Amino acid sequence: RSWDFVVARVAIDYRGELNQDDREAVVRCRVTGFGTSSVRTREEVRKADGSLSAESESVLVPRDPDTGRSRPLTDDEKAALERAIGSD
């Protein structure tokens, strides 16, 4: 089952150039925390050789698909997020 979330905030720090000649990139995303109605994540973008190209932090907000408004996280979502944090 997919969750209906929107990105509310993104902050990006560019660390090194990544261009088409690199041909591929590895992106890692992890959950760093959550509140009543938001999820915080941290992302890294690396070249295939492991060098860091960018770091970011994001805030995601769950959305009610019927109203289009934000909503609180469900207990099931919170449990899944706790597992994701614990497995890091």
What are 43-84's pLDDT values in tens digits?
Answer: 999 999 999 999 999 999 999 989 989 999 999 999 999 999
Residue spans of alpha helices (H) in the chain = 75-86
With a CB cutoff of 8 Å and minimum separation 6, the contacts of 2 are none
E strand or H helix at 1? none
What are 4-52's pLDDT values in tens digits?
Answer: 999 999 999 999 999 999 999 999 999 999 999 999 999 999 999 999 9
